[in-house]
Amino acid sequence: MENQNQLFETPENSGQPSVRIIAVGNAGDALLGALGTPEFAGAEFAAINTDAAALVASSAKVKIHLENKLFRGLGSGGDPERGKALAEEQFSMLKSACEGASVVFILAGLGGGAGSGISPVLAKAAHEAGALVLAFVTLPFECEGNRREAQAQTALEQLKSAADGVICLPSQKIFKLIDENSTLVETFRVTGGFLIEGVRGVWSLLTRPGLIQVHFSDLCALIRDRHAENAFAFVEASGPGRAREVVEKILNHPLLDEGRALAESDAVLVSLTAGKDLTMSEINRVMEQVKRQCVHAQIVMGAAADAGLQDKLCVTIIAARQNAAVTSVTPRAESHSVTATTTHSHREPALPRQRKRGAVAKAVQGQLPLTIVSKGRFDKSEPTLHRGEDLDIPTFIRRGVAMN
Partner 1 sequence: MFDDSNIIAGLEIGTSKICVVVGEQNADGALNIIGLGQSRSRGVRKGEIINPEQVEEDLRGAIFEAEQMADVEIRSVYLGVSGGHIRGFNNRGVHPVVSADREISQDDVDDVVKNAKAINLPAENTVIHAVRQHFFVDGQDGVTQPVGMLGARLEVDMHVIHGHANRLQNIVRLVRATSLEVDDVVFNGIATALALLTNEQKELGALVIDIGGGTTEFVVYSDGVIRHSGVLAVGGDHISNDLAYGLKVPLTRAEKLKLEYGTALPTATAKGQTISITNDLGLELKRLNHEHLQKIMSLRLEELFQLIAQDLEQAGLTDYLRAGVFICGGSSRVPGIVQLAENVFQMNVAPGHASAVSGLTTALDQPEFATAIGLVKFGSLKNRRRAGRASIMGGIKGGIKGVFNKMLPRS
Cβ distance to partner 1 smaller for residue 352 or 388: 388
Identify which of 104, 111, 61 has the alpha carbon closest to the alpha carbon of residue 83.
111
Q: Which of residues 302-341 bind partner 1 (CB under 8 A)?
A: 332, 335-336, 339
C-alpha distances (whole Å) from 51 to each of 75, 93, 163, 389, 398 are 4, 17, 24, 31, 29
Among 2, 184, 377, 388, binds partner 1 (CB under 8 A): 377
Least separation in angstroms between CB 348 and partner 1 = 20
Cβ distance to partner 1 smaller for residue 367 or 381: 381
User: Are the beta carbons of 113 and 80 closer than 8 angstroms?
Assistant: yes
Query: Binding to partner 1 by residue 395, rule CB under 8 A?
Result: yes
Least separation in angstroms between CB 364 and partner 1 = 22
Angle, in degrees to the nearest 10, between helices 91-98 and 114-128: 60
CB atoms within 10 A of CB 7: 21
Among 147, 189, 224, 375, binds partner 1 (CB under 8 A): 375
Cβ distance to partner 1 smaller for residue 239 or 376: 376
Cβ distance to partner 1 smaller for residue 70 or 403: 403
Query: Binding to partner 1 by residue 397, rule CB under 8 A?
Result: yes
Strands 228-238 and 165-170: parallel
Least separation in angstroms between CB 308 and partner 1 = 45
CB atoms within 10 A of CB 27: 25
Length of the chain: 404
CB atoms within 10 A of CB 338: 12
Cβ distance to partner 1 smaller for residue 13 or 381: 381
User: Are the beta carbons of 295 and 358 closer than 8 angstroms?
Assistant: no
User: Are the beta carbons of 35 and 199 closer than 8 angstroms?
Assistant: yes
User: Are the beta carbons of 82 and 61 closer than 8 angstroms?
Assistant: no
Query: Binding to partner 1 by residue 394, rule CB under 8 A?
Result: yes
Query: Binding to partner 1 by residue 372, rule CB under 8 A?
Result: no
| 3-state SS assignment for residue 233 | strand
Size of the site for partner 1 (CB under 8 A): 23
Question: Could you give phi then psi for residue 14, rounded to 5 degrees?
Answer: -100, 5
Identify which of 208, 266, 262 has the alpha carbon closest to the alpha carbon of residue 232.
262
Query: Binding to partner 1 by residue 346, rule CB under 8 A?
Result: no
The DSSP call for residue 40 is: G
User: Given phi > 0 = left and psi -120 to 50 = alpha, else beta, which region is 228?
Assistant: beta
Least separation in angstroms between CB 399 and partner 1 = 6
Cβ distance to partner 1 smaller for residue 6 or 339: 339
Cβ distance to partner 1 smaller for residue 292 or 399: 399
Among 71, 91, 141, 378, binds partner 1 (CB under 8 A): 378
User: Are the beta carbons of 78 and 113 closer than 8 angstroms?
Assistant: yes
Residue 149 corresponds to which amino acid? E
Query: Binding to partner 1 by residue 276, rule CB under 8 A?
Result: no
Strands 132-139 and 103-109: parallel
Cβ distance to partner 1 smaller for residue 291 or 375: 375
Least separation in angstroms between CB 79 and partner 1 = 24
Least separation in angstroms between CB 327 and partner 1 = 17
Nearest-angstrom CA–CA distance, 307 and 275: 5
Please, where are the H alpha helices in 129-215?
146-162, 171-175, 184-207
Q: Select the span of 14-22, 151-159, 228-236, 386-394 touching partner 1 (CB under 8 A).
A: 386-394
Least separation in angstroms between CB 111 and partner 1 = 21
Query: Binding to partner 1 by residue 180, rule CB under 8 A?
Result: no
Strands 103-109 and 62-65: unpaired
Q: Select the span of 43-51, 85-93, 188-196, 372-380 touching partner 1 (CB under 8 A).
A: 372-380
Q: Select the span of 140-148, 199-207, 215-223, 395-403 touching partner 1 (CB under 8 A).
A: 395-403
Q: Select the span of 31-39, 48-56, 308-316, 387-395 touching partner 1 (CB under 8 A).
A: 387-395
Q: By CB under 8 A, name the binding residues for partner 1.
A: 332, 335-336, 339, 373-378, 381-382, 384, 386, 391-392, 394-397, 399, 401, 403
